[in-house]
Amino acid sequence: MARRGRRVNRGRPVDGIIVVDKVYGASSNEVLQRVKRLFNAAKAGHTGSLDPLATGVLPICLGEATKFSQYLLDSDKSYRTTMKMGARTTTGDREGEIVDERPVTVTRSDVEAILQQFRGEIEQVPSMFSALKHNGRPLYEYAREGIEIERPARTITIHRLELLDFDGDECVFEVDCTKGTYIRTLVEDIGEALGCLGHVAELKRLKAGPYTEHQAYSLDELAAMRDDARDTALNVEERIEFAELSGLADELGRDRMEKSQSERLKELSRARNKAGDRVIDGLLLTQDSAVSDWPQVKLGETSSYYISQGNPVQVPQAPTSGNVRIYGVAEGVEGLVFLGIGEITDDGLVAPKRLIKG
């Protein structure tokens, strides 16, 4: 006989992108799992790990938006970091043990002069304390075991490297860079070039792709907005009733409550949850915001149908190459809607690449 277990809540279908302001110490996966619970989402994914040491912008994709997470992973990033000069650590940041120390005799002018060699296209050896994998294991696991793995240098581009502040043995930089740039490695390399060594004391991501810190919410803010909406969804009498029934459910268990009491508790819970969901759902950014800098094409009803079936279509005045956002006609919806992304074929047609479910 099959074992009867508790019914698993697989979450609700919710689509969009929420920009989280990650706090110090939290892993990207911890943030992802909490967001998934906050939204009671059936599906969620992040857009590339942000170091636990770092704070700031971490976009989380929900539902159909997860189809575009790879493009955010590949996007440019911006950071603000504080470099502590005078010491190198095992991890390249303040959490590691100091392995070498040198006196700090550099001036602001010295720092300004050395930065030029780190702008533009440069070669960088990834940190051992990175999530890059070797034989299926992230490098940081080897590093914690004291094992050094040879890493080939990679080409990255530093679009902007600006010194914001200089105070004795600390420098504050802002960095705009391509994907795969390791700020702790950049800081270590700058410290080595200055001759005084250095490590990351603080790190904040300001921007990931099109998303900025001004669009970000902390997990506590999201939870508070959801809970406030739940609390105000019921009138005073209903709140009292909900508290009494919840207490009874905790005491007896829902299975032992009277059917009318159990049904009423479900009804009040649904009303609360619906109000909470409505508030935080309203904060979600649209799926096409992930590729907002791509050119767009607009399709009529017939072309929309064919592309939804996986067929390339001809679009007048479409770009001649590259990726595009596709907008078209969807059944039961007025106006043009985002259908997904496509690419221009060699013969100039728009071919579907990743389409979303209507």
pLDDT one-digit tens code per residue, 100-125: 999 999 999 999 999 999 999 999 98
The distance in angstroms from the start CA to the end CA of the chain is 40
Instruction: Using the structure block, give the residue that is written with the tokens 């001759």.
Output: 195
On the question of pLDDT at 225 being above 60, the answer is: yes
107-135 per-residue burial string, b: 16 or more CB within 10 A, e: under 16: eeeebeebbeebeeebebebbbbbeeeee
CATH superfamily of the 294-355 domain:
PUA domain (2.30.130.10)
Same CATH fold assignment for domains 77-208 and 294-355: no
Banded model confidence at residue 358, pLDDT cuts 50, 70, 90: low
Closest Cα to residue 56, out of 276, 213, 163? 213
pLDDT in tens, 14-72: 999 999 999 999 999 999 999 999 999 999 998 878 888 999 999 999 999 999 998 98
Average pLDDT of the chain to the nearest whole number: 91
| Residue 193 CB coordination number (10 Å) | 15
Q: Which residues are catalytic?
A: 51
Where does 77-208 sit in CATH, by number? 3.30.2350.10
Domain boundaries, the chain: 77-208, 232-282, 294-355
> What is the C-alpha to C-alpha distance for residues 268 and 234, in angstroms, rounded to an integer?
8
On the question of pLDDT at 355 being above 50, the answer is: yes
**pTM, two decimal places:** 0.88
pLDDT in tens, 148-161: 777 788 899 999 99
> What is the C-alpha to C-alpha distance for residues 323 and 106, in angstroms, rounded to an integer?
47
On the question of pLDDT at 5 being above 60, the answer is: no
